[in-house]
Every structure is written in structure tokens, then in C-alpha cells.
Amino acid sequence: MAVNLRYVFISTCLLWFLELSYLRTDLKSTKLSRKKKKAAPLSGITIESYAAEGKSIARLDDGKVLFVSGVVPGDVIDAVIIKDKKSWAEGRATRLVTPSPQRVEPFCQHFGVCGGCKWQMIPYSQQLIYKQQQVTDQLSRIGQVQLPEIQPIIGSANERYYRNKLEFTFSTSRYRTFEEIAERDEKFEQEPALGFHAPGLFDKVVAIHTCYLQTDPTNLLLSVLREYTTKHGLEYYNFKAQYGWLRNVVIRVATTGQILVNLVIHHEDKEAREALLQHIWDNVPGITSLQYTINGKVNDTIHDQEVICWRGKDHIEEQLENFRFKISPKSFFQTNTKQAEALYRVAREFAGLTGKEVLYDLYCGTGSIGIFCSAGASKVIGIEVVEDAIKDAWENAALNGLTHCKFYAGDVEKVCTDAFFAEHGRPDVIITDPPRAGMTEKLVNQLLKMRAPRVVYVSCNPATQARDLQLLDAAYKIVRLQPVDMFPHTHHIENVALLELR
């Protein structure tokens, strides 16, 4: 393939700059580390209980709490302290001395390396217990408001193959484990890889051969891509030097049987691109939408890039109950479709709609929750800051023949003016589904001013939800709480809260 010499020169200069920055950082870190006394290793530490966010707790001889990731209550480990504070410390397990009776054998060959599915060593039934505990602890400690009894967690119907979207990365640098490096004295040759980014490393990728997160043809697609690109010498992307051709591949598998694949390349090479796309189309059955994106930027985001449909439709459709949703390459959609139905049913039940209410859906995204609840509302008003998502929401409403669902782009505190209420009505019920960071303080204050009789708060982070519930306590009481597990074998947990005006 032809190489742009001007681009190589710019990339080389950028690499020199990055290396100089890394060198300065390393020198600074070395000077700081010399000032610190190296912590002695800890031996025979017993892990006592689960904390939150994937961390468990042990207690040191001086009574200090030690947080450790990747371990199970009941494990006895050796560890080193990586962060030492006055009343607590964070450690890293260096050896599993005695495994906990709770431990089970992980089912994936990539466990412990790729960074996903970090709880495979814990039975799913026990994972649910820890997640329920996490919700209870965080709402109690952080929220510090009166809570009703928390309902038993709703587990995922599928423990494997539950994701409808995965993104894999092409990289010139395959990630190697410490054990792999220790086995050899000489330096490794650089080796390309197709898989997931190694945790904490922007340039190295763990080669994935079998993934249990998504149904076929995902693993077949990986195999076909790996074999073809190796045979034809197609260049993977070098994230440090910022050159190469193949960057990413995204696959979406819908419960309707429709499959979307988007191949992301760095620059146009029509002959190579056409041949590769044709090979995918011929050798990966079931694809209904094959697309490609040319992304010459430094970062991987394609939200500002054109996605070109090469074969099939430019989208696929997903279904929740009887509602259909258009999914394009840039669309956001809940990644566990079957469990999204369970989550939305809880939100709909909590909303208590009788057919007369005006429902406001905040952080509405592509309108999925509002549309799912639309049969019980006289009007649905969705508000979302991302304009592309609002366009999808209007299309989804039209796809389902819903004329009483309307969607608006902008910040809630700016959109919800007296003039807006005069046109659309004040909300009887509000559903809010913010990102992990939770709601902004401005939005919380806006909710307090709007004073809807009921608020349904759907959260993917109980810690930030607890903070927001404490602020909303000025006008609302918490009536019901329902945890829902969307992501088996991870520490992530959703929680739905129903608030009623005091």
C-alpha cells in the first residue's frame, strides 16, 4: 500500500515527542520513588469480605483496611501495597496461597488478561449477592437517607453471550503477560493482534480467539479477519507511531437475527478495502449490514466520521417486547437486549402510568425507555443533549407508529422553561437515566423545581445515584428500590429507584 511521506514525518515527530514526554515522566517517577521507602510484601493475608467496584477487603495487623482487586472473600493471598493512606491502603495480590471455597474455574481462556468478565472465578449466584450488597451499602453510606426494603436483585437470564455490541481493535503490538515475558531472556519481536485493548494500555491489544460475550458469528468473524489479513499482509494500526491501515471492527448482533458489521480503516485503499469487505461478506454468513468508516484521526471515536454502507441496509432493527428500534453504527442502545427488557419493565411499573400522565424521559438517548413506556402515557417528552440520538428517537417513534412521543435536543435546565411547559404540559412522571457520573447539580435543582409527583431514577452507578438521592431528599421520599444485573461476571450493577413527592 502507498504511504504518505508527509504523514509519516508528522507521525515520527509525534512519536519523538511522546517518547520524550514518557522519558521525563519516568525520570520524575524515579526521583519520587527513591524518596519513598519500599513497602514490605505482605504474606498470608485473608480476604474477609466484598467491598464494591470489584474490590474486596482484608485487615492488616494494625487494623488498617486493605482493598484488593481480583480476589474472593475467603482467599488467602500474598500482596504488596500500591497505595498507602492513613486509615486504608490498596494492595495487589502477588500469589494465591489458599483459594476460597467460593472460587470456581473460569470458563474463558483469556480470563485475567483481557480485562473483561473479571468475576468469572465467582459463581453467578454469589455475584448477585455481592451486587445486592453493593447497592445496599452505597445507598446507605453515601445517600444517608431513609430507605425502603431493597427488592431482591433481578439476575440476567443469560450469563454468557448477552452483549449485542462488541468492538475489536487491530494493533501492531500484541500484549504479553508477565509470565510470558519471564519465560524468555531475549527481547520479543513485535507481533500484531486483533482483540481487546489490554487494561490500562492504549497501544497493546490482547489477541482474542474465543469470546463468550456475544453469539456467533462474532468468533467466526475474528477468525476470518485474522486469517485473511495475515495471508495478504494487511497492516494493523500502530497506536504509538499513529500509522497503519486496519483500526477497528464493530459487530452488532440483534435478537431479530439481523447483524451489522462496521470495519474502521485509517485511510482509503479501494482495492484492498473492496477485497476485504467482499471476503467478509462471502465467508461470514448472516450479515445484513456491512459498512466501513475511514478514520484518520488520532482517537478511535467515529461519531464525527461518515459511515458508508457497502452491502445491505444502513441499519439493523432490535426489538424490546413489541417495540422495534433502528440501530445504526453510531446509535447507543442497551448492550444486553434481553435484560434491558427486564430493566425497562421495572421502570414502567414504577412509573405507575394510567394513560393520563405526561411522561418526561430525561437522558432519553434514542428514546428507548420512553417508547417502551408509551402505551401508558398520554404524552412522552424525551430530552437528550446528543442531537444525533434525538434524530434516532424521532425515527424510532415513527417506526412504532407513535405520534404522542416527541423528542428535543438540549440540556434539561435550558429546555424545560415555563414556555416549554405551557406548550407540552408539566410532567406527572419523570424517568431519568443518566450516565455513570449521575445527574448534574443543576439538573437535580431543576427536578426539585419541576416537582413531578413521581420520579423514576434508573442508574448504572449506585454510588452517584446515592449522592443524587440525598439531594432529592429535600422534596422526595424513596418508595421502592430494585437492583437489576445487566452485566454478569462484572462488578457493574443497575438500580432503579422510585421517588414520590413528599
The catalytic position among 114, 364, 416, 460 is 460
Say how far apart CA 414 and CA 440 lie, in whole Å. 13
Give the integer Cα–Cα distance in Å for 89 and 44.
Answer: 16
Give the Å distances, CA to CA, from 104 to 119, 122, 123, 195, 502.
Answer: 10, 6, 6, 25, 47
Residue 50 and residue 56 in contact, taking contact as beta carbons nearer than 8 Å: yes
How far, in Å, CA of 294 to CA of 261, rounded?
14
Bridge-based pairing state of the strands 494-501 and 429-432: unpaired
Instruction: Give dist(CA 381, CA 374) in Å, integer.
Output: 10
Q: What does the alpha-carbon distance between residue 204 and residue 139 come to, in Å, rounded to a whole number?
A: 37
Annotation says 114 is catalytic: no
| Burial label, 117 (beta-carbon count in 10 A; 0-12, 13-18, 19+) | buried
State the amino acid at position 204 in one-letter form. K
For residue 22, what are the contacts with CB-CB under 8 A and spacing of at least 6?
none
* CA distances (Å), origin 190, targets 12, 91, 173, 174, 243: 18, 31, 6, 7, 15
Q: 330 with 301: CB under 8 angstroms? A: no
Residue whose C-alpha is closest to residue 170's, from 201, 208, 118: 208
User: Annotated active-site positions, please?
Assistant: 460
